[in-house]
C-alpha cells in the first residue's frame, strides 16, 4: 500500500517537472529551437557514415547493411531518451554541488536522488532522435527477411527498459566523484565516446571487445541486445543477463549515492 502511494506521489512530481520544463520552453522558445537545430546537425553527421556503410550493400562479418541501419536507429532512439531525460541533470549535478543549490534540494520532502535526476529535460534534443532513429529502425527491419513474433516484441520492450535503467545507472555513478573533486567532465566525455560505439553491431569489434562490452562495462547490452532479441538472434542466457545486469548497477548507484551524500559539505 505504501509502495503504491509513494509511486503515485513520484509520478505526480515527475509530471510537475515535465510541466515546468514545457512552460520554460514556451517562455524561452529560442532554447527549444536551438536544442532542435544542434541535435539535428549532430544526427546528420552520424547519418553520413551509417549511410556510407548501408549504401555499399556489403555484409560486414556476416552482418547485413539492413541490420546496421536498424541498430543505428535503435541507438538514436535510446540516445533521444538519454539526452532528453538524463543528460542535463547529470551535467548540472557538479554545478549544484559547487554553488550550494544542493542545499535547497536537500530540504525537500522527497528523495534527493530523484530530484537531481529528473528536474530538467531537453525535449528539443529528443524529438529529432526519435523521428530519425525510428525511421532508420523500421526501414532496416522492413529490409530484413525475418518474422517477428509477439514474444520477440515483448522481450525487445523489456530489454529496452533494461537498457534505459542501465544507462541511467552507469552515467549517474560517473557523476558521483563530483562530491570529492571539482569537475567530472572528463569522465562523462569518455563515457559519451564509449556510448557512440553502440551505434554499430557489437559483432564488428572482435571477441574480446564484445566480452568487455557485455560482461564488464556492459554498454553493448544497451542498443545491441534489444534488437538482437527482436530479430531472434541472441541466446537465452544472454537475454537473462541483459535483463539482470541493470539491477546490481542500479543498487550500486544508490549505495554510492548515499556514501557521497554523507561526504557532502554544504557550499553555503
- Mean pLDDT of residues grouped by 10 in the chain (268 residues)? 79 89 83 86 82 73 84 92 88 80 81 89 89 92 88 95 94 87 71 76 84 88 92 91 95 93 74
pLDDT value for 32? 83
155 occurs within a structural domain: yes
Taken in order 202, 84, 106, 104, the sign of the CA dihedral is positive
Instruction: From 223, 187, 183, select the one nearest 203 (Cα to Cα).
Output: 223
d(CA 247, CA 221): 13
What are residue 256's phi and psi, to 5 degrees?
-65, -35
pLDDT value for 1? 67
d(CA 22, CA 120): 10
pLDDT value for 268? 56
Whose cell is 522558445? That residue is 29
Instruction: Give residue 222's domain range.
Output: 2-262
Our count of domains for the chain comes to 1
pLDDT value for 98? 78
Whose cell is 546496421? That residue is 68
The pTM is what?
Answer: 0.89
Cβ proximity of 126 and 40 under 8 Å: no
268 occurs within a structural domain: no
267 occurs within a structural domain: no
pLDDT value for 182? 67
181 occurs within a structural domain: yes
64: left (phi over 0), alpha (psi -120 to 50) or beta: beta
194: left (phi over 0), alpha (psi -120 to 50) or beta: alpha
Amino acid at each position: 500500500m505504501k509502495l503504491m502511494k509513494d509511486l503515485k506521489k513520484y509520478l505526480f512530481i515527475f509530471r510537475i517537472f515535465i510541466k515546468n520544463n514545457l512552460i520554460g520552453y514556451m517562455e524561452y522558445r529560442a532554447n527549444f529551437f536551438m536544442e532542435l537545430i544542434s541535435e539535428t546537425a549532430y544526427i546528420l553527421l552520424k547519418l553520413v557514415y551509417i549511410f556510407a556503410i548501408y549504401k555499399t550493400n556489403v555484409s560486414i562479418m556476416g552482418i547485413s547493411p539492413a541490420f546496421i541501419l536498424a541498430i543505428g536507429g535503435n541507438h538514436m532512439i535510446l540516445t533521444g531518451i538519454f539526452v532528453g531525460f538524463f543528460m542535463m541533470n547529470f551535467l548540472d549535478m557538479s554545478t549544484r554541488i559547487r554553488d550550494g543549490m544542493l542545499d535547497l534540494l536537500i530540504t525537500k520532502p522527497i528523495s534527493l536522488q530523484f530530484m537531481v535526476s529528473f528536474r530538467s529535460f531537453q525535449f528539443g534534443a529528443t524529438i529529432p532522435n526519435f523521428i530519425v532513429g525510428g525511421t532508420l529502425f523500421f526501414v532496416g527491419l522492413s529490409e530484413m527477411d525475418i518474422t517477428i513474433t509477439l514474444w520477440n516484441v515483448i522481450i525487445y520492450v523489456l530489454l529496452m527498459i533494461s537498457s534505459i535503467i542501465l544507462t541511467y545507472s552507469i552515467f549517474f555513478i560517473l557523476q558521483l566523484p563530483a562530491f570529492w573533486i571539482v569537475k567530472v567532465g572528463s569522465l562523462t566525455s569518455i563515457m559519451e565516446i564509449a556510448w557512440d560505439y553502440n551505434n554499430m553491431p557489437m559483432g564488428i569489434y572482435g571477441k574480446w571487445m564484445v566480452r568487455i562490452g557485455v560482461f564488464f562495462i556492459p554498454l553493448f547490452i544497451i542498443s545491441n541486445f534489444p534488437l538482437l532479441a527482436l530479430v531472434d538472434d541472441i541466446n537465452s542466457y544472454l537475454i537473462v543477463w541483459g535483463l539482470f545486469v541493470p539491477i546490481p548497477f542500479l543498487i550500486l548507484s544508490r549505495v554510492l549515492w548515499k556514501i557521497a551524500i554523507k561526504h557532502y559539505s554544504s557550499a553555503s
